[in-house]
Chains A and B, each alone.
Chain A
Amino acid sequence: MTAASQQSLTQWLESDTPASSRQALAGNVYRGTRSIVSNPAALAGLIIVALLIVMAVMAPHLARGISPIEQNLSNRLHAPDTAHWFGTDELGRDIYARTLYGARVTIAMVLLVSVIVGPIGLAVGTLAGFLGGWMDALLMRITDIFLAFPRLVLALAFAAALGPGIENAVIAISLTAWPPYARIARAETVTIAKSDFIAAAKMLGASTWRILFKHIVPLCLSSVIVRLTLDMAGIILTAAGLGFLGLGAQPPTTEWGAMVSAGREVILDQWWVATIPGIAIFVVSLGFNLLGDGLRDVFDPKSV
């Protein structure tokens, strides 16, 4: 790309008067990316999250061909050395490989919970906010009841009732995580619903569903997405907590919370077994927190 064309691209992206909605979108993405990259904390978060994805995708290569589930009882609880970078656990499995493969479970759970929680929260919140009246009262009362539950105890009860496993842990976490999204979406909807452009759409004969899906939901999306990113750390911690209690992924799947739990018995003598997966959970949730803070600053200038 020549210097001139690069300059014109920047100009096109930074234009105050975009000619098309595509240009406006590209401009927004460009400005958002620039402000995240210029914020060191958010950039660090982005790098950590990117590394997590690389870890998950490249796990077999990065693990140097070592299997995360291969047991070697003659080599159990071995301290970290050149053969086993992070040592071995109580069944002689390589903790380095297990940590890498554990990233897959973490990503899968976070993605699944987000995919369930975002739409449910949006649906309940926008419906309550837009329709108002008894519908609003009913939906918000249900939301309050779910909010009144301690998150982990409810997730625990669900996971125990449905039986342990990743899918059930995801359902359990989702059931307890959606209410704040409904609250946010409702608050946004109530303000948006009063705007002139909604009145105009109504006068033009737009149906309730059209207004909801074409006008209100897109405007609520950014706050829901920002909140999701901020929440991902919490989701990871809850998932790890369920795993720690034995209600998350079941063997032979490797999961960080369960790995910490396995190291519990030997913490005083073989510290690495519990410490290393714990550090992995910590770093990843730190990454999501940093990225979420950065995204919030970009999308919501009020909160800065």
Chain B
Amino acid sequence: MTDTQIGQTNIVGHMLRRASSFIASLALTFVGLTAITFLISRLTKIDPVLAIVGDKASKEVYDKTFVMLGLDKPLIVQYGAYLRKLLSGDLGTSVLTSQPVLTDLLHVFPATFELATIATIFGVLIGVPGGVLAAARKGQWPDQLVRVVCLFGYSIPVFWLGLVGLFVFYGKLGWVSGTGRLDIAFDDIVTTRTGILLIDAAISGEWEIFRNAFSHLILPAGILAYFSLAYIARMTRSFMIDQLSQEYIIAARIKGRSYWGAVWKHAFPNIMVPLITVIGLSYASLLEGAVLTETVFAWPGLGQYITRALFNSDMNAVLGGTVLVGTVFIGVNLFCDFLYKVFDPRLRSS
């Protein structure tokens, strides 16, 4: 074996070890996540047997169902059975919709995805330059402005801002449409392909529906974008302030780099890794169902689905929704890990 070959085997071995420890930690997180959700569902005072047989059932029927559901077995056995079903993609049936929970989730998730993605795009497009500008002009008016905008974003209750937004932009000015994803007149016209209304309408060439969907989407997406922007700008600012005080910036300036050249070409690439984490976290939290925003805007997404299931003691739906939420979180983390390697050459070699 030549030296390079030995080097390559080492790298392969190293990557394998890293991958396996990574997968192990993922699996652990997943098991923990499902265990906690499972325990919560068992904490409820709602009787799962009564939910199925009704309160007029005889003792015999009740007991039979009790055994059939496996409720006579120890908790750990019940959890094992639950986990086995889960891994085969069976999330049970929703009491509320009488459909498999998985079907329900696939139906509601695109609505949340659409909202969260648009909100994050705006949050990044405005938040990142805003944060960089604030750091580069630290203490001056752009910085003060960004700080106030962020501070408000950290302090305003989202459900209240949603209501005030509806009052002003829908009620008074009439610039946007009200709650829901579409006007009732447009319901069920476009065939569902992706579940993302804007894309589905565009594919079908239904531009009137596209415009209507957009005018429904813009207010909730704008409000979520504001919160995501506040978080992203605040973190970008603090990362950049840190980098701009480093000596390599002075060195770059001495060598004749323009100020903004040093900011964008030297300092900015160095904040990419933490910045990706921040954006990923903010995106994940929006994907996890912006519960309150979806409630205010009657947006038929994941957050509203979980909330409705909770209030109707539909435990299969709650469990399924929460597991999806956790999986999304793990997925976003994975994707961020991958992006680190794209943006940070040091992580590629090690």
> Could you tell me if B322 and A153 are in contact, using CB atoms closer than 8 angstroms?
yes
Instruction: Give the residues from 21 to 37 in chain B that come closer than 8 angstroms, CB to CB, to chain A.
Output: 25, 28-29, 32-33, 36-37
> Could you tell me if B40 and A152 are in contact, using CB atoms closer than 8 angstroms?
no
Does B288 touch A at the CB level, under 8 Å? Answer: yes
Nearest chain A CB to B306 CB, angstrom units: 6
Given known contacts A260-B157, A278-B160, is B289 in contact with A148 (CB within 8 Å)? no
> Could you tell me if B322 and A157 are in contact, using CB atoms closer than 8 angstroms?
yes
> Could you tell me if B156 and A275 are in contact, using CB atoms closer than 8 angstroms?
no
Using an 8 Å CB-CB cutoff, how does the interface string of A264-304 with B read, 1 for contact, 0 for none?
Answer: 10011001001100100110011001100000000000010
Using an 8 Å CB-CB cutoff, how does the interface string of A234-260 with B read, 1 for contact, 0 for none?
Answer: 100100110011100000000001001
Using an 8 Å CB-CB cutoff, how does the interface string of A54-80 with B read, 1 for contact, 0 for none?
Answer: 000000000000000000000000000
Does A263 touch B at the CB level, under 8 Å? Answer: yes
Given known contacts A257-B157, A285-B155, is B291 in contact with A153 (CB within 8 Å)? yes
> Could you tell me if B157 and A278 are in contact, using CB atoms closer than 8 angstroms?
yes
Contacts of A152 in B (CB 8 A): 291-292
- 12 CB-based A-B contacts, threshold 8 Å: A141-B25, A145-B33, A146-B36, A148-B29, A154-B322, A157-B310, A160-B44, A241-B157, A267-B171, A275-B164, A275-B167, A289-B155
Contacts of A278 in B (CB 8 A): 157, 160, 163-164
Does B43 touch A at the CB level, under 8 Å? Answer: yes
> Could you tell me if B154 and A233 are in contact, using CB atoms closer than 8 angstroms?
yes
Query: Which of B89-97, B101-109, B324-332 binds A?
Result: B324-332
Contacts of B164 in A (CB 8 A): 274-275, 278
Does A158 touch B at the CB level, under 8 Å? Answer: yes
> Could you tell me if B163 and A264 are in contact, using CB atoms closer than 8 angstroms?
yes
> Could you tell me if A141 and B163 are in contact, using CB atoms closer than 8 angstroms?
no
In the complex, which residue of chain A has the Cβ closest to the Cβ of B178?
A268
Contacts of B62 in A (CB 8 A): none
Does A156 touch B at the CB level, under 8 Å? Answer: yes
Does A161 touch B at the CB level, under 8 Å? Answer: yes
In the complex, which residue of chain B has the Cβ closest to the Cβ of A271?
B167
Given known contacts A157-B318, A160-B311, A244-B292, is B326 in contact with A148 (CB within 8 Å)? yes
Using an 8 Å CB-CB cutoff, how does the interface string of A14-29 with B read, 1 for contact, 0 for none?
Answer: 0000000000000000
Does B296 touch A at the CB level, under 8 Å? Answer: yes
> Could you tell me if A268 and B171 are in contact, using CB atoms closer than 8 angstroms?
yes
In the complex, which residue of chain A has the Cβ closest to the Cβ of B319?
A157
Nearest chain A CB to B132 CB, angstrom units: 19
Nearest chain B CB to A70 CB, angstrom units: 25
In the complex, which residue of chain A has the Cβ closest to the Cβ of B288?
A150
> Could you tell me if A260 and B291 are in contact, using CB atoms closer than 8 angstroms?
no
> Could you tell me if B310 and A156 are in contact, using CB atoms closer than 8 angstroms?
yes
Does A162 touch B at the CB level, under 8 Å? Answer: yes
Nearest chain B CB to A128 CB, angstrom units: 16
Chain A interface, number of residues (Cβ within 8 angstroms): 44
In the complex, which residue of chain B has the Cβ closest to the Cβ of A158?
B40
Nearest chain A CB to B167 CB, angstrom units: 5
A157 to B325 Cα, complex, angstroms: 13
Instruction: Give the residues from 272 to 325 in chain B that come closer than 8 angstroms, CB to CB, to chain A.
Output: 284-285, 288-289, 291-292, 295-296, 303, 306-307, 310-311, 318, 321-322, 325
Does B342 touch A at the CB level, under 8 Å? Answer: no
A275 to B288 Cα, complex, angstroms: 27
Does B159 touch A at the CB level, under 8 Å? Answer: yes
Q: A149, A150, A233, A281 — which one has the most chain B CB atoms within 10 A of its CB?
A: A150
In the complex, which residue of chain B has the Cβ closest to the Cβ of A292?
B154
Does B152 touch A at the CB level, under 8 Å? Answer: yes
Chain B contact residues: over half helix, strand or loop, or mixed?
helix
Does B215 touch A at the CB level, under 8 Å? Answer: no
Contacts of A264 in B (CB 8 A): 163, 296
Does B270 touch A at the CB level, under 8 Å? Answer: no
In the complex, which residue of chain A has the Cβ closest to the Cβ of B159?
A244
A162 to B41 Cα, complex, angstroms: 10
Does B346 touch A at the CB level, under 8 Å? Answer: no
Contacts of A135 in B (CB 8 A): none
> Could you tell me if A161 and B40 are in contact, using CB atoms closer than 8 angstroms?
yes
Q: A148, A246, A263, A289 — which one has the most chain B CB atoms within 10 A of its CB?
A: A148
Give me 5 other A-B pairs in contact (C-beta within 8 A), A160-B318, A241-B158, A281-B160 excluded: A149-B36, A154-B322, A240-B157, A274-B164, A285-B155
Given known contacts A150-B288, A150-B329, A157-B318, is B29 in contact with A263 (CB within 8 Å)? no
Given known contacts A244-B159, A274-B163, is B32 in contact with A141 (CB within 8 Å)? yes
Using an 8 Å CB-CB cutoff, how does the interface string of B152-189 with A read, 1 for contact, 0 for none?
Answer: 10111111100110110011000000000000000000
Given known contacts A148-B329, A282-B155, is B33 in contact with A161 (CB within 8 Å)? no
Does A163 touch B at the CB level, under 8 Å? Answer: yes
Nearest chain A CB to B44 CB, angstrom units: 5
Does B56 touch A at the CB level, under 8 Å? Answer: no
A260 to B292 Cα, complex, angstroms: 12
> Could you tell me if B157 and A157 are in contact, using CB atoms closer than 8 angstroms?
no
Nearest chain B CB to A90 CB, angstrom units: 15
Instruction: Give the residues from 139 to 171 in chain A that come closer than 8 angstroms, CB to CB, to chain B.
Output: 141-142, 144-146, 148-150, 152-154, 156-158, 160-163
Contacts of B288 in A (CB 8 A): 150, 153
> Could you tell me if B155 and A157 are in contact, using CB atoms closer than 8 angstroms?
no
Contacts of A145 in B (CB 8 A): 28-29, 32-33, 36
A263 to B36 Cα, complex, angstroms: 35
Contacts of A154 in B (CB 8 A): 36, 322
